[in-house]
């Protein structure tokens, strides 16, 4: 449903001790938006994603997922989520794919994919297996369903991790440098899966250094610098004459994007 706001972040801040890593970030993702989050190492991109899915607790600000605000309590100078039940619910609505695949090594690929739907969502196992098979087909590794992660290439493991996230039917997918740990020849197969997800209308927030993805797949580019959004806009503007000097300098390090 285009127009529906799936994720809304209002002025979030995050400090580690005296170091303020996020200094007031606001961002809305509507249904089907694919937002590339770019920025130098240390600019706060991972912390931002981790605050959204509550792996970290923002020190201040508001986060809304699919119209529901994450409730926080402020006590003795600390901020934490008010309800673990809500945290679990919000997490089930947000898929997260990390740089380092994070599959369970003692489970086959199929077991990895059905684990969440069966044990967290308590859905019937046979139904979850049938859906998992479809997802594995979609990411191109159906033939690996009974293999253990260690037997797969990095690109196959990352595609399995994407399938595992999708099995929870998330409202928004968060990706934190999903291709940064891969050998260059395996990057394309993961980007293709992400591109087809985007084309199907998945709402995605993607931290990446893949300028071709940012330029050709996302419909918005957000450039973070030192814990703030320095500039943002459609890729045509950001990669065209509308770029800020800081963003221009940043992309200069990557050469001309394809």
Task: Kindly state the smallest distance separating residue 58's Cβ from ligand ADP, in Å.
Answer: 12
User: Does 32 interact with ligand ADP (rule: CB under 6 A)?
Assistant: no
Nearest one of 224, 231, 246 to 47, comparing CA atoms: 224
Q: Minimum distance between the CB of residue 138 and Mg ion, rounded to whole angstroms? A: 27
Residue among 44 and 235 whose Cβ is closer to ligand ADP: 44
Applying CB under 6 A, does 178 fall inside the site for ligand ADP? Answer: no
- Given the rule CB under 5 A, which residues bind Mg ion? 45-46
| 225 sits near ligand ADP (criterion: CB under 6 A) | no
The residue among 53 and 156 lying less far from ligand ADP, judged by its C-beta, is 53
Would you call 195 exposed, middle or buried from its count of C-beta atoms within 10 A (0-12, 13-18, 19+)?
middle
- Asked whether the beta carbons of 144 and 160 are under 8 A apart, the reply is yes
Window of 41-49, 74-82, 93-101, 127-135 that interacts with ligand ADP by CB under 6 A: 41-49
Choose between 23 and 123: whose C-beta lies nearer to ligand ADP: 23
Which residues have a Cβ under 8 Å from the Cβ of 193 and sit 6 or more positions away?
138, 139, 140, 159, 162
Q: Please choose, from the candidates 147, 203, 212, the residue with its C-alpha nearest in 3D space to the C-alpha of residue 179.
A: 212
Between 46 and 108, whose beta carbon lies closer to ligand ADP? 46
Nearest Cα residue to 145 out of 187, 107, 117: 107
Enumerate binding residues for ligand ADP (CB under 6 A). 16, 21, 39, 41-47
């Amino acid at each position: 449903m285009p127009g529906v706001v799936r994720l809304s972040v209002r002025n979030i801040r995050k400090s580690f001790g005296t170091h303020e890593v996020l200094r007031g970030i606001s961002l809305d993702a509507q249904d089907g938006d694919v937002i590339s989050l770019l920025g130098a190492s240390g600019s706060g991109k991972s912390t931002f994603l981790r605050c959204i899915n509550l792996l970290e607790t923002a020190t201040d600000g508001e986060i809304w997922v699919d119209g529901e605000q994450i409730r926080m309590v402020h006590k003795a100078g600390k901020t934490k989520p008010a309800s673990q039940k809500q945290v679990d619910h919000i997490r089930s609505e947000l898929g997260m794919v990390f740089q380092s695949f994070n599959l369970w090594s003692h489970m086959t690929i199929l077991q990895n994919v059905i684990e969440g739907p069966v044990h967290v969502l308590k859905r019937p196992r046979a139904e979850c297996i049938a859906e998992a098979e479809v997802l594995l087909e979609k990411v191109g590794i159906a033939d690996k369903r009974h293999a253990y992660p260690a037997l797969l290439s990095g690109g196959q493991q990352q595609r399995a991790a994407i399938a595992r996230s999708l099995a929870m039917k998330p409202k928004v997918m968060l990706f934190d440098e999903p291709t940064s740990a891969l050998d260059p020849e395996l990057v394309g197969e993961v980007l293709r899966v992400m591109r087809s997800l985007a084309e199907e209308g998945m709402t995605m927030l993607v931290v990446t250094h893949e300028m071709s993805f940012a330029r050709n797949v996302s419909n918005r580019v957000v450039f973070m610098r030192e814990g703030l959004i320095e500039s943002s806009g459609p890729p045509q503007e950001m990669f065209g004459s509308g770029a800020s000097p800081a963003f221009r300098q940043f992309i200069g390090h990557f050469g001309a994007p394809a």
